[in-house]
């Protein structure tokens, strides 16, 4: 009869957890930076619109509001 025992040391487990933790943080930081870039573009486009009551201006206001609430 043969018994096989796998032993995982705490350092091996910690390395795996640290990797996924850093991976998740980097992913969310990338998403946040993308949203910030989109927000800047929308704000710039909104500033350039002369008629703030137009459909396009109102739509940009909504996009800006939603992005700010997500950040």
Question: 58 is in which domain, residue-wise?
Answer: 10-70
Q: What is the pLDDT of residues 31-57, one digit of tens each?
A: 999 999 999 999 999 999 999 899 999
Kindly state the average pLDDT of the residues 24-32: 92
Q: Give me the pLDDT at residue 36, please.
A: 95
Over its C-alpha atoms, the chain yields an Rg (Å, rounded) of: 24
Is residue 3 in some structural domain? no
CA distance 13 to 23: 16
Q: Give me the pLDDT at residue 17, please.
A: 72
Q: Give me the pLDDT at residue 31, please.
A: 93
Count up the domains in the chain and report the number: 1
Is residue 41 in some structural domain? yes
Count other C-beta atoms under 10 Å from residue 22's C-beta.
Answer: 10
Q: Give me the pLDDT at residue 15, please.
A: 65
CA distance 55 to 23: 40
Kindly state the average pLDDT of the residues 13-32: 84
């Amino acid at each position: 009869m043969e018994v096989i025992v796998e032993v995982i040391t705490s350092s091996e487990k910690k390395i795996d957890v640290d990797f996924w933790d850093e991976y998740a943080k980097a992913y969310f930081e990338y998403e946040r930076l993308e949203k910030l870039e989109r927000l800047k573009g929308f704000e710039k486009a909104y500033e350039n619109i002369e008629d703030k009551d137009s459909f396009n201006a109102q739509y940009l206001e909504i996009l800006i509001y939603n992005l700010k609430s997500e950040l």
